[in-house]
């Protein structure tokens, strides 16, 4: 972290959200960023809920995030679809459900300090 980030917080808003220790607050921060992301410019991040058909835990996650899904903030992608399979393979995902923070190339955006994926709910 730079001296400026220590004094004023991270310059990168995504990094600022990822530094929030409470998962629900971090997710809320990320949802706000995605909702308000400028239409032009940088690579827009996305929240993708990777799930699968008759998966009971997947259905529970869909219900938990129903409002954000309906608002288009969280995108549901089926694990067995071509895009779902590609996201899973690219990022080493072996099971569902999983909520992922992805960049515009469908690569997981990680926390730099811990090299861990974004908060998963």
- Residue pair 77/53 in contact by the 8 Å Cβ criterion: no
**Residue 24: φ, ψ to 5°:** -65, -40
d(CA 10, CA 3): 10
- Segments making up each domain of the chain, as ranges: 3-117
Residue 121: pLDDT above 90? no
Output the pTM of the full model: 0.79
d(CA 113, CA 121): 20
Average of per-residue pLDDT across 95-116: 82
Q: At the topology level of CATH, where does 3-117 sit?
A: Glutaredoxin (3.40.30)
Residue 53: pLDDT above 90? no
Taking only the tens place, the pLDDT of each residue in 58-82 is: 999 999 999 999 999 999 999 999 9
Non-local CB neighbours of 33 within 8 Å, separated by 6+ positions: 13, 14, 17, 45
d(CA 36, CA 45): 11
For residue 49, give both structure tokens. Answer: 């809920």
- Residue pair 16/29 in contact by the 8 Å Cβ criterion: yes
- Residue 68: predicted pLDDT: 96
Taking only the tens place, the pLDDT of each residue in 9-52 is: 556 889 899 999 999 999 999 999 999 888 776 788 999 999 99
């Amino acid at each position: 972290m730079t001296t400026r980030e220590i004094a004023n917080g991270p310059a990168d808003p995504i990094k600022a959200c990822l530094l929030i220790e409470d998962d629900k607050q971090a997710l809320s921060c990320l949802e706000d960023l995605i909702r308000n992301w400028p239409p032009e410019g940088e690579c827009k991040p996305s929240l993708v809920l990777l799930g699968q058909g008759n998966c009971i835990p997947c259905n529970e996650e869909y219900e938990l995030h129903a409002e954000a899904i309906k608002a288009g903030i969280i995108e549901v992608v089926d694990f067995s679809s071509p895009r779902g399979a590609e996201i899973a393979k690219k990022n080493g995902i072996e099971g569902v459900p999983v909520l992922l923070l992805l960049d515009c190339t469908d690569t997981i955006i990680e926390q730099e300090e811990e090299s861990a994926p974004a908060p998963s709910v």
